[in-house]
Amino acid sequence: MRHAISLGLTLFGVWLLLSGHYTPLITSLGVVSVILCVYIVLRMETCDHETHPIHLTTRAVMYWPWLAIEIVKANIDVAKRVFSAGPNISPAVYYVKSSQKTELGQVIYANSITLTPGTTTMDIDEGTFVVHTIAKDVGDDLCAGEMDRRVSLLEGRS
Amino acid sequence: MMYLALELLTWLSFLIGGFFLITGGVGLIRFPDFYTRIHAAGVTDTLGAALLLLGMVLQSGDVLTAIKLIMIGFFIFLTTPTATYAIANAAFTGGLKPILHEDEGDGSSKT
């Protein structure tokens, strides 16, 4: 129920921001469409802590800035490798253990890895990720587990 | 003064963003195999796209447009890793072996 209410409020917020027309008729049509959407989602039984993870909101806000800085650093690193004169890449495949307990946490970790240029998750098998990295030192950084630790913090104890 | 600073910031983010887009393109050509090229494409859709959107937000001049642009960025950041994973996973399960550093040509996975 908590998730349904939050989904409705989010959808209506998005509707208000995207429409820009605030006459009573248009707004009430918006309310009706939001209610219809929430009803359909509830009927599909896809409205839970996985599809709408409101319990992560505050911790996600603390995780994103760190991830953004990591992405910028990784971008500069890959850009250097692209423009370096000689071959400056040493592609490697790593098997990275993930310490997350929920599937949602694993998805966040795997997507964070993929979002950082230079590392791409290729496969997931029971908490072990097959990760392709552009260079050995990038992969060793990943294996140091800083991102893993932060995603587990984000996931929290539930 | 305010206007000048805004213009400068806009141009800076457009120029740096454009540089990263070109970097992604050059990387696509220069890198040797499918998986390393994914990394080059990743430069385009993370920092390149983000900086271009930032430049557009600075120039939008009205809050609703700015929020729409920020939403585009938000959804890009949610969907690209999923799409990249789908492509990489399809190649990996399809049996495409990545070129590895030590044993070039052999291509067997290492731990």
Structural domain that includes position A121: 59-155
Report the C-alpha gap between B6 and B12 in whole angstroms.
Answer: 10
The 10s digit of each residue's pLDDT in B31-60 is 888 999 999 998 998 999 999 999 999 998
Same domain, A87 and A135: yes
In sequence order, what E strands does A38-145 have?
92-97, 119-125, 128-133
Token pair 């966040």 in the structure block, residue:
A108
- What is the DSSP-derived secondary structure letter of residue B98? P
| A139 in any annotated domain | yes
* pLDDT-based confidence at residue A48 (cuts at 50, 70, 90): confident
- The verdict on a CB contact (< 8 Å) between A71 and B47 is yes
Q: Is A14 on the interface with B (CB under 8 A)?
A: yes
Same domain, A90 and A149: yes
Amino acid at A89: I
Same domain, A35 and A69: no
Same domain, A75 and A36: no
- Tell which A residues from 106 to 125 touch B, by Cβ distance under 8 Å: 110-112, 114-123
Q: Which two tokens stand for residue A31?
A: 């309310």
- 3-class state of residue A89 by DSSP: coil
Instruction: Say yes or no to pLDDT of A65 above 60.
Output: yes
User: What's the pLDDT score for residue B107?
Assistant: 43
Q: Is A16 on the interface with B (CB under 8 A)?
A: no
Same domain, A81 and A126: yes
Same domain, A139 and A72: yes
| A120 in any annotated domain | yes
Q: Which of B23, B79, B34, B84 is nearest to A134 (CA)?
A: B34
Domain chopping of chain B, boundaries: 10-91
User: What's the pLDDT score for residue B102?
Assistant: 65
User: What's the pLDDT score for residue B110?
Assistant: 42
| A50 in any annotated domain | no
CB A60 within 8 A of CB A107: no
Same domain, A71 and A147: yes
User: What's the pLDDT score for residue B105?
Assistant: 43
The 10s digit of each residue's pLDDT in A104-148 is 889 999 999 999 988 999 998 888 999 999 888 888 888 888 898
- The verdict on a CB contact (< 8 Å) between A91 and B33 is yes
The 10s digit of each residue's pLDDT in B73-111 is 999 998 999 999 999 999 999 988 888 876 444 444 444
Q: Considering the entire predicted model, what is its pTM?
A: 0.85
User: What's the pLDDT score for residue A157?
Assistant: 63
- The verdict on a CB contact (< 8 Å) between B35 and A132 is yes
Residue to test with chain B: of A122, A130, A136, A147, most B Cβ within 10 A: A122
| A16 in any annotated domain | yes
Same domain, A108 and A141: yes
Q: How many domains does chain A have?
A: 2
- Which residues have a Cβ under 8 Å from the Cβ of B88 and sit 6 or more positions away? A114, A120, A121, A122, A132, B35, B38
CB A75 within 8 A of CB A117: yes
Same domain, A149 and A77: yes
